[in-house]
Amino acid sequence: AGIEIENSTFADVYDNVATNNTGGILVFDLPNLPVQGGRNTRVFNNDIVSNNVDNFAPEGNIVGTVPAGTGMMVLANDSIEIFGNRFADNQTTNVMVVSYLINGLPIDDPNYDPFPEAIYIHSNSFEGGGENPDSEPLIALQAATGQPIPDVVWGGAIMPDAKGEPSKTFAEILCLGEGGMSFVNLDAMNGFAAPSFDPAPHLCEQPRLRKIVLPGDAGSAE
């Protein structure tokens, strides 16, 4: 990864160039670590371009599951705002938002929440990408559609409530502002049976996250 925010809260990631990595920027929350509940990260004003290097992480490392060609991946984090970035030529997809469950790895941490929520993606630019995915479900999707993988890929997993029904709406999980980007819901929890390219359930606005200000610091630019 070019930049990784792991099991962290209240982070600003800005004014960087992430290029020539497997994944440009990763925002992860992982089980079995002393600090959990990753949330409230803003990723803005970055160039996230051509992150297409083969994944060389050791087998068993969670970063080893990141497909080559991933511009940005949000894994199991909450309240993430992604804006003002330039995404270009990341050949799996420019932005991926997924649950930890998509890896098929067992979870033996009873306190861990594997579902991302309140992800707000807006006001970014997208150029190219998605033409050579390094992920079996996305390779199959590209073969079926004959089109590049969309700019934003969501796994489609939602935490169930006590009755087994979705506990959140699509927009509460992933908000795409006014749109302006291509999108797919992979329907991963149903075996990728019925992917949807309809962004309408995700067109919304969310409250903006506050900038991070450290003691004695003027804080980030936005």
Q: What pLDDT is stored for residue 36 in this prediction? A: 87
Per domain, the residue ranges of the chain are 3-202
- Which residues lie below 8 Å from residue 177, measured CB to CB, with a gap of 6+? 120, 121, 122, 123, 203, 204, 205
Nearest to 126 by CA among 179, 79, 171: 179
Q: Each residue of 123-161: pLDDT tens digit?
A: 999 999 999 999 999 999 999 999 999 999 999 999 989
Could you give the CA distance from residue 52 to residue 69 in angstroms, rounded to a whole number? 4
Residue 24: enclosing H or E segment and its boundaries? strand 23-28
In the block, which residue shows the tokens 């804006």?
83
Q: What pLDDT is stored for residue 221 in this prediction? A: 61
Going by DSSP bridges, is the β-strand pair 9-14/125-127 parallel, antiparallel, or unpaired?
Answer: unpaired
Q: What pLDDT is stored for residue 195 in this prediction? A: 96
Cβ atoms of residues 203 and 197 within 8 Å? no
Per the prediction, the chain carries an average pLDDT of 94
Single-letter code of the amino acid located at 208: R
% of the chain beyond a pLDDT of 90: 83
**Structure-token pair, residue 40:** 């409230």
Nearest to 109 by CA among 6, 34, 189, 4: 34
Q: What pLDDT is stored for residue 164 in this prediction? A: 87
Name the residue with higher pLDDT: 59 or 189. 189
Lowest mean pLDDT across 60-64, 65-69, 93-97, 203-207: 60-64
Q: How many residues appear in the chain?
A: 222
